[in-house]
Amino acid sequence: MTPIKKKRRASAPSLPSRNDIIEYLNDSDGAAVRRDIARAFGVKGEARAKLRSLLKKMEDEGVIDLAGGKRVKVAGKLPPVLPIDIVGVTHDGDLECEPAGWKDDHDPPLIRISEKRAMKFKPAPGVGDRVLARLKPTGDGAYSAEIMKAIGKGAHRFLAVYRKDRGRTIAEPVERRARGTFTIDQGDDAGAKDGDLVWVETKNARGYGAQKARVRKIEGHIDDRNAFSTISLANHGIPTEFPKAVIEEAQKAQLPSLGERTDLRDTPLFTIDPADAKDHDDACFAEPDPDPDNPGGYRVIVAIADVSYFVRTGSELDKEALRRANSVYLPDRVVPMLPERLSNDLCSLRGGEDRPCLAVEMFIDSGGRKKSHRFLRAIMRSAAKLSYEDAQAISEGSDPKDVGAPAEIKSAVHNLFGAFRARWSERSKRAPLDLDLPERKVILNKQGEVADVIKRDRFDAHRVIEEFMILANVAAAETLERARLELIYRVHDQPDEEGLEGVRDYLDRLDYSLVKGGSVRPANFNQILKIAEERDEKEMISQIVLRAQQRAIYDTENRGHFGLNLPRYAHFTSPIRRYADLVVHRALVTAAKLGPGGQTKEEAAALGDVAEQISDLERRAVAAEREATDRYLSEYLASRVGAEFDARIRGVTKYGLFVMVEPSGADGFIPMRSIGRERFEFEEAMHRIIGGTTGGVFRLGQPVRVKLEEAIPLTGSLRFEMVSDPAPGEPRSSRRKKPGSKPPTKKTKGKKRTGGKAPPHKKKRKSKANAKPRKF
């Protein structure tokens, strides 16, 4: 195969500048399709890859957003004048809106028309109307809107529950954005029955009268055991059934013979997974390195299910796997990327059964450094199926009764932990970002109801598996770079400088110092987190550090992995549930000349688009998982309306506070009217609201006491009232003198700091009105 890098050097296309692209987008109402940009500037052939790379860099710099895969728009803002659809009414009577024709996978920005402004417009607009509006950023990623004129009907399609209520038929939305109920007129029900989950489309409605809609499709029934997950999957368009052709192809799949594969069946490889895991895509083995030149070193094998043997490029299985991009994990089920015939059978490294694998053999020295590695295709037979608890117990010298692990497994487990201790020394030098955030698991009973919510225990066994999966992923990236093959990296970019400035300012006011100038490294954040733990402020500071991070994505251009502090990284270890890993497997098969199922030229040429698609679909899966969990937790807490909970502030906006309550980890919202008796002002840069009279403060990460006012399981919504008093702050008179400034020092106390000129905070406010909202 002709090396990819040589092909790139052969072409030196002229690309548009950043300013050219921004000017073009502004002339196109702020957004355009990537193909149109290429045409406008005459970018053709292989030069398109460089254009795609330029657009990615501009996104990383916060200049543009690559929304919905191939759509490009100016980042952080909507056009000043825009058609918007009215989709709901808030508890305060404000109209909630979204950009007309919004098709991005992520949620649209919040747009509100105040009740006062809406009532001035005649006739008064209502849900289902489309209006031309003038938008104004509110400073927290949202917009306020002023209606310019009505431009007709803008149908909004959403999922709802069909109800018959005292002689009339209504639809109760399951989306948080669509509030209230919608009347279904006779003839618009499409045969729906009471309790059906239905797709409805809004009809034009005037003023604040009844909102109307028509049924377009019946999705299921609200009394179904798995209705909450069904709602989340349907809302995000995640397929749950495999096409017939895909099932047929999976059923025809057969295990390979040994042939030219390496025989690892006598090597005591073992799996370590959660106790309830059904698919096992990785197994490990470790022993002391027999090489006398590597004293204290280890030989480690990480064997991964050989999915590339079964799922060939362009097959029906491949097309469907790409359409899904990943498995989706919900409280009551898993929606797999691959049919069960593969995910739970032929590709699963089940105990005592021969299975094909793609393995990496790695040698590390006594200091944990990887000396060498090689990839091989093999047949293995898992010698033991261990849970994390089992592996931890064995490492501590006990043997779980229900495991009865043979001596060779105990020895291999101890060796793996020994290799991990060596790697931990190397890891400490590398100093990856140490954000150890708690994970929770929703436990359902036989009736499909939430029985409990538990924090996941985290053992050294978890860290052992994570560390060697990371090392295997690094080995995969290194191998493909050496082979000069196109690959998909897992990229976690450095925090953008604009976001860091906001973080520095916030931390500085709390007496923390984040290094200025040059590149911020994970170790800088780790040092701050260590100090925060000593001050009992780690939860609060962790939220700020987390918000400073960029989103990890898949990309064909390597920009390193900031969080892991690695120069190159690719996903290799989970091909049963992630399409990115399957792509890397195929490339490794080609690089190491390991037989059929390798990377094709057509696949290599399309990897840029594939990386964008699977990044978008990963976000879709995360959103569905979160929303399903929210609905289950809302139902779990519905019987406790009126109860008080300990909570922590997770988000601060102009409209109120987002909180996470203990011990369930459920997220809810406190509207501004339910926070206190005084009026609170939103200070975006400080992630806080501050009392207009007392100066009392509620800030991000602050522990508080809240009372549950409302739980709506259908939408997953929880509404709380603040019980705690705000933390002490500056009195109003003091803040008027120095808003946003530090307390006066001995040198500055009693002196004017502006030399008779306009106070600096007023200058900032003047320039900030036109600045792009910061993203943390």
Does 283 score more than 90 pLDDT? yes
| pLDDT tens string 66-92 | 755 567 877 656 778 888 988 777 766
- pLDDT confidence of residue 731: 60
- pLDDT confidence of residue 250: 97
Query: Which is nearest to 88 in space by CA: 129, 148, 122, 54?
Result: 129
Mean pLDDT of 502-509: 83
Q: Report residue 754's pLDDT band, with 50, 70 and 90 as the boundaries.
A: very low
Question: Are the C-beta atoms of 345 and 328 separated by less than 8 Å?
Answer: no
- pLDDT confidence of residue 769: 36
State the chain's mean pLDDT as an integer.
84
Spatial distance between the Cα atoms of 349 and 306, rounded to a whole number of angstroms: 10
Question: Are the C-beta atoms of 260 and 373 separated by less than 8 Å?
Answer: no
- pLDDT confidence of residue 574: 96
Mean pLDDT of 186-212: 79
Among positive and negative, which fits the CA dihedral 216, 217, 219, 222? positive
Q: Across 58-72, 331-345, 511-525, 544-558, which has the greatest mean pLDDT? A: 331-345
Does 752 score more than 60 pLDDT? no
Q: Across 47-51, 89-93, 325-329, which has the greatest mean pLDDT? A: 325-329
- Residue 757, amino acid: K
Q: Which residues of 81-99 are buried (b: 16+ CB within 10 A; e: fewer)?
A: ebbbbbbbbbeeebbbbbb
Does 771 score more than 90 pLDDT? no
Comparing 66-80, 326-340, 365-379, 708-722, the range with the smallest average pLDDT is: 66-80
Q: Which residues of 35-51 are buried (b: 16+ CB within 10 A; e: fewer)?
A: eebbeebebeeebbbbb
Mean pLDDT of 159-168: 86
What the block records as the tokens of 611 is 């990386």
DSSP state of 145: E
What the block records as the tokens of 407 is 């001596």
CB atoms within 10 A of CB 78: 21
Mean pLDDT of 672-688: 89
Top-confidence residue, 4 or 349? 349
Cα–Cα distances (Å) from 382 to 281, 398, 620, in that order, read 11, 21, 34
370: left (phi over 0), alpha (psi -120 to 50) or beta: beta
CA angle 617, 621, 623 (to 5 degrees): 115
| pLDDT tens string 374-419 | 999 999 999 999 999 999 999 998 765 556 678 999 999 999 999 9
Does 772 score more than 60 pLDDT? no
Does 755 score more than 80 pLDDT? no
Top-confidence residue, 663 or 465? 465
Spatial distance between the Cα atoms of 592 and 554, rounded to a whole number of angstroms: 23
- pLDDT confidence of residue 401: 56
| pLDDT tens string 725-741 | 999 976 655 554 444 44
Mean pLDDT of 286-310: 97
**Pairing relationship of beta strands 384-387 and 270-273 according to DSSP bridges:** parallel
**Pairing relationship of beta strands 262-264 and 370-381 according to DSSP bridges:** parallel
Taking each helix axis from N to C terminus, what angle separates 460-482 and 407-430, rounded to the nearest 10 degrees?
Answer: 70
What the block records as the tokens of 722 is 């603040």
Does 146 score more than 80 pLDDT? yes
Top-confidence residue, 434 or 155? 434
Question: Are the C-beta atoms of 416 and 286 separated by less than 8 Å?
Answer: yes
- Residue 415, amino acid: N
Query: Which residue intervals of 190-300 are DSSP H helices?
Result: 227-235, 244-252
Comparing 23-32, 226-235, 311-320, 732-741, the range with the smallest average pLDDT is: 732-741
DSSP 390-402: HHHHHHTT---TT
Comparing 26-30, 257-261, 434-438, the range with the smallest average pLDDT is: 26-30
Consecutive H or E run containing 423: helix 407-430
Residues 6 or more apart whose CB falls under 8 angstroms from that of 276 comprise: none
608: left (phi over 0), alpha (psi -120 to 50) or beta: alpha
Q: What are phi and psi of 134, to 5 degrees?
A: -95, 125
CB atoms within 10 A of CB 530: 11
Question: What's the maximum distance between 2 C-alpha atoms anywhere in the chain?
Answer: 88
Question: Are the C-beta atoms of 484 and 5 separated by less than 8 Å?
Answer: yes
Top-confidence residue, 5 or 675? 675
Spatial distance between the Cα atoms of 718 and 544, rounded to a whole number of angstroms: 24
Report yes or no on whether pTM surpasses 0.85.
no
Mean pLDDT of 609-636: 93
Among positive and negative, which fits the CA dihedral 555, 560, 561, 567? positive
| pLDDT tens string 549-568 | 888 999 999 999 999 999 99
Q: Report residue 744's pLDDT band, with 50, 70 and 90 as the boundaries.
A: very low
Spatial distance between the Cα atoms of 450 and 331, rounded to a whole number of angstroms: 9
Does 204 score more than 90 pLDDT? no
Spatial distance between the Cα atoms of 759 and 235, rounded to a whole number of angstroms: 49
Mean pLDDT of 135-161: 81
Spatial distance between the Cα atoms of 451 and 443, rounded to a whole number of angstroms: 6
Edge-first strand order for the sheet with 282-288 is 262-264, 370-381, 354-364, 298-305, 282-288, 270-273, 384-387
Does 117 score more than 90 pLDDT? no
- pLDDT confidence of residue 235: 81
% of the chain at pLDDT higher than 90: 50
DSSP state of 589: H
Q: Report residue 303's pLDDT band, with 50, 70 and 90 as the boundaries.
A: very high
What the block records as the tokens of 644 is 């008080």
Q: Report residue 356's pLDDT band, with 50, 70 and 90 as the boundaries.
A: very high
